A and B are shown apart, each in its own frame.
Chain A
Amino acid sequence: MGALNILVAVCLTYVALLFLVAFMAERAALRGRATWLRSPLVYTLSLSIYCTAWTFYGAVGNAARSGLEFLTIYIGPTLVMIGWWWGLRKLVRVGRTQRITSIADLISSRYGKSPLLAVFVTLIAVIGTTPYIALQLQSVTLSFASFAKVDPQAMQFADSEATALWVAGGLAVFTILFGTRNLDANERHHGVVMAIAVEAVVKLCALVAVGVFVVWGLGGGVSETLARIDASDIGTWQVDNGRWVAMTMLSAAAFLTLPRMFQVLVVENEDERHLRTASWAFPTYLMIMSLFVVPIAVVGLDIMPEGANPDQFVLTVPLSQGQQGLAMLSFLGGFSSATSMVIVAAIALSTMVSNHIVMPIWLRIAQGGAVISGDVRHVVLLARRLSIGGVLALGYLYYRFSGGGAALTSIGLISFSGVAQFLPALMGAIFWRGSNHTGAVAGLLIGFLIWVYSMLLPSFGPGVFLSAEVLEHGLWGLSWLKPQALFGIEGIDPVVHTVLWSMSLNAGAFVLFSIISFPQPLERLQGAQFVNVFQHSGNPQGWSGGVAQAEDLMVMAQRILGPVETQTLFQKAALEQGLVGFLPEPTPDFLQRLERELAGSVGAATAHAMVSQIMGRATVSVEDLLAVADETAQMMEYSSQLEAKSAELSRTARQLRAANEKLTKLSVQKDAFLSQISHELRTPMTSIRSFSEILRDTEELSPADLEKYADIIHQEAIRLTRLLDDLLDLSVLENGQVNLNIRQGVLQDLITHAIASTGAESSGLNIHRSGISTDILMETDLDRLAQVFINLIANAQKYCDADQPELTIQVTERDNYLIVDFIDNGSGIPAQAQDMVFEKFSRVSDRQAGGAGLGLAICREIMARLGGSIAYLPGQGGAAFRVSLPIKMKMAAQ
């Protein structure tokens, strides 16, 4: 039985063991006895899928070719784990609170749940990971080949393509069996994680064993080996600063953005406290992995024949020394590195492909069928399985077409550079609220294109995708488009070149487009959720300090329910819980009741969000927030209706108040009016009664007295009559029952008639007439107008207190109004009384003049009926009244 047969047997046994481990872990997890599965150690070991066959075999090859440069691959992740564990914690928290299933899911979810971004990230991830999977197939194939060389009986296995196909197929089966057993909401795979943890131990042990053999078995001890290293080329190797920094950054970025790393770091994380252990344990693991790389490389170069592939030293050095057992262990180490990487990568990619590409398409095609939920579950599993097969098939095809000749390290760097393009969008997602969808798409697109053009396509060699012509002279002959010397920058390392251009333009475009474009509302909400994940998600270690929360709840509830109701509610709850005081324990029962109470005021969604926020039990999801917004909109609608109603009510109230005030005023006016009338009637009656009694009762009355008293009785009787006439007149005018007697007449004649009928001129009042001298023909109720004029002239006659009383009657015409002013030279009417003169019974002076105070009120009513007006003219010296009438008149013929 040849070595190769034994190898195959060992391999199959090993795989069977892994199956068993994975199966047991799944069983334990299902039974809920998986506490040992959730240890930080398992988490740390699962992270070791970072160390693939590339690091297992390739690091030695890299050291043999490029000296200490291989260390950058370890330094990047070490820096991240030690220096940036807090950032990782945030990433893990975001992953859990948002139920993130992959890096594509995180980026698309953060930037407005964009399907475009999800598809884009998935495609980049698939394209970027495919070379990596090919790399693993290549390393397994190479190691088979190494065994085959020393076992001439088994040359038939040397067909490397067939080997690669077998390996790819086997891995697909394993991944499908353990990667798609169930569809957990959180996408955790206990069996797989456990299996890769075991593999992590195997590969570490294998490398250390080979290292120990090389140092003590071949090198002759530590000091001897160190001397050999000093004597070798590696000892004199110089650091290329640019490449060193670029590779370190690249591996740090890839550690976060590689789909499989994201899977184990974030998605499979059970507890973010595990990060604390991993932050030192994982760098330690990496350190041990790298410890023997240089000795193996140096000793290998010394003892192996010229032209031996240094990528296989880990395997070929023991083989060359006849150490079959050690070589077998070494092979298992490499096999573990390759398989664990491929399995997790296939799971991660298949999740993305099925969730973001296959399922959306299937749902669109089978819109009707989507309603049957059982079918969907089935379809998801099928999509996952097909995706796993597809991913491995792609890897195999890449291996076939790239020729399988490239050094392991360079294939790994292609992958690293591809997935590193996610970094700006990923960092923006959790640290920069201002970043948005447009920026993410722009950055990813430009970074991806540069990576494809300057690194991926040239990696196939001239003539496969890019012709030698393009590689040499640039696309379309444009020298600045030379794939490996973009924009005219020549002579730098191809890896540095690609990293420099793709990452800087990616980040630049991401920032620029984020700033100049405006995020959608959903993006803003998601941005807040992601960036402020620690404020939103509260304390993950469970909540303590119930009193403090009860206090917060009370403060919040008081704002909504009011202090009295809140205190009653809380006190009652506390009493029911058997507690003294106001603050009950925040039990689920109580929270539910409080939520119901709050919902009555602010709506159910808002109430739930508020209580959740304070209790820190769940984040407020976007759906919660949208529900809150809906509720708020409804409330605003309702309140604007209420507002309209209340405005209407207050308008009605105002009208009622005004009407009431008017009625009250009228009532007061009526009382005052009656009181006035009573006074005006009783006064003359008093004289009449008294004097008539005197006439009746007094016997010896002189004829002069007799006549005088009879005269007084007579006067007062006339006064009474006039008063009654005025009252009736006013009543008729006010009720609008007056019949106007419209006739034509000349204004000047009317004035002359009015003066004559007052007898004013004979009583000493000097009257001047001025203004328009021509006869003005007018058509109105001449008697009523004359009544107004007579009243005004009589007032002047009665009240003008000048020594030589004068009255000016001035006629003017203005703005289609005929204006007649009556101005005397007395002291006029005091300003405060001017408003009152047209009111009934308002008398400015003493009552000796004998008027009842109705004259001007009657004048006002008459002028209103005639369509004109009468007003007091202040500032004229004496009392001045203006009578205006609209011109319905014409000048009389001359």
Chain B
Amino acid sequence: MGKHVLVIEDEPNIIEAISFILSRDGWTVDTHSNGHDAVSVVRAKSPDLVILDVMLPGKSGYDILTELRQDAATQNLPVLMLTARGQSKDRELAEKIGASRFMTKPFSNAEVLEALHELVPQ
């Protein structure tokens, strides 16, 4: 089995696309589609990496990341943030909170895979 990735995203088509790409690249993919319980799901599944959308129903990606960084268990967990709001202040905010990488949608599949390999050496 490859490394374990958790995709937190509410747009079904995007989940489908990311899941397909990562599976093809050899990752074990888990998905979750709302913000309410995202933090506890991360703790429960303890993935090697999290792909986190910003605009989620229930709780924003920023809030989820902030909580993860306060918790010792997930303090250093690699998190790739994705957002459809591509303004520079969004990127600054994400980096400040502690996102490992920040990518705006639409992304190229190759870029995502490359970023994942950098964050989690195979």
Contacts and interface: CB of A to CB of B under 8 A. Distances in A.
Interface of A: 675, 678-680, 682-691, 693-694, 697-698, 712, 715-716, 846-848
A231 B40 CA distance: 139
A569 to B, nearest CB: 58
A248 to B, nearest CB: 106
B84 interface: yes
28 contacts: A678-B84, A678-B87, A680-B84, A682-B104, A683-B11, A683-B105, A684-B13, A686-B14, A686-B84, A686-B105, A686-B106, A686-B107, A687-B11, A687-B13, A690-B17, A690-B18, A690-B21, A690-B106, A690-B107, A691-B13, A691-B17, A693-B110, A694-B17, A694-B109, A716-B13, A847-B10, A847-B57, A848-B12
Nearest 3 Cβ contacts at the A-B interface: A682-B84, A690-B17, A686-B105
A846 B12 CA distance: 12
B24 A687 contact: no
A711 B74 CA distance: 38
A36 to B, nearest CB: 103
A680 to B, nearest CB: 8
Contact of A682 (B13, B16, B17, B105): B105
Given A682-B84, A682-B86, A683-B11, A712 B57 contact: no
Contacts of B10: 846-848
Nearest to B87: A675
Interface of B: 10-14, 16-18, 20-21, 24, 34, 55, 57, 84-87, 104-110
A697 B85 contact: no
Nearest to B34: A846
B14 A690 contact: yes
Contacts of B55: 679
A675 B85 contact: yes
Given A686-B14, A694-B21, A712-B16, A679 B109 contact: no
A112 B18 CA distance: 104
B110 to A, nearest CB: 8
Nearest to A719: B13
Nearest to B57: A846
Nearest to A846: B57
Nearest to B54: A679
A679 B84 CA distance: 5
Contacts of B34: 846
Nearest to B58: A846
Nearest to A716: B13
B85 A678 contact: yes
Nearest to A679: B84
Main secondary structure of the interface of A (DSSP, over half): helix
A689 B106 contact: yes
Contacts of A678: 84-87
Contacts of A846: 10, 34, 57
A675 to B, nearest CB: 5
Given A689-B107, A690-B17, A683 B84 contact: yes
A694 B21 CA distance: 7
Given A675-B87, A686-B11, A694-B21, 5 more contacts: A686-B106, A687-B11, A688-B106, A689-B108, A690-B17
A439 B107 CA distance: 105
A679 B10 CA distance: 13
Given A687-B13, A690-B17, A679 B106 contact: no
Contacts of B20: 694
Contacts of B11: 683, 686-687, 847
A680 B84 CA distance: 8
Given A689-B107, A690-B107, A698 B24 contact: yes
Nearest to B24: A698
Contacts of B107: 686, 689-690
A683 B18 CA distance: 13
Nearest to A694: B20
Contacts of A689: 106-108
A715 B13 CA distance: 10
Given A698-B24, A846-B10, A847-B10, A693 B84 contact: no
Contacts of A685: 105-106
Contacts of B106: 682, 685-686, 688-690
A728 to B, nearest CB: 21
Contacts of B110: 693
Nearest to A697: B109
Nearest to A684: B13
Contact of B14 (A680, A687, A694, A697): A687
Nearest to B15: A687
B15 to A, nearest CB: 10
Contacts of B14: 683, 686-687, 690
A683 B13 CA distance: 9
Most chain B beta-carbon neighbours within 10 Å: one of A682, A697, A715, A716:
A682
A687 B12 CA distance: 9
Contacts of A847: 10-11, 57
Contacts of B18: 690
A504 B61 CA distance: 103
Q: Which of B16, B21, B57, B106 has the most CB of A within 10 A?
A: B106
> For B17, B20, B34, which residue has the most chain A Cβ atoms within 10 angstroms?
B17
B9 to A, nearest CB: 10
A330 B106 CA distance: 141
A767 to B, nearest CB: 28
A712 B108 CA distance: 17
Contacts of A690: 14, 17-18, 21, 106-107, 109
A168 B24 CA distance: 150
Nearest to A675: B85
B115 to A, nearest CB: 14
A847 B109 CA distance: 24
A687 B108 CA distance: 10
Nearest to A845: B57
Contacts of A691: 13, 17
A246 B94 CA distance: 112
A516 B86 CA distance: 89
A32 to B, nearest CB: 96
B105 A693 contact: no
Nearest to A681: B84
A54 to B, nearest CB: 114
Contacts of A686: 11, 14, 17, 84, 105-107
Contacts of A688: 106
Contact of A687 (B17, B57, B85, B104): B17
A830 to B, nearest CB: 14
Contacts of A694: 17, 20-21, 109
Contacts of B17: 686-687, 690-691, 694
A683 B85 CA distance: 9
Contacts of B16: 712
A646 B24 CA distance: 75
A696 to B, nearest CB: 10
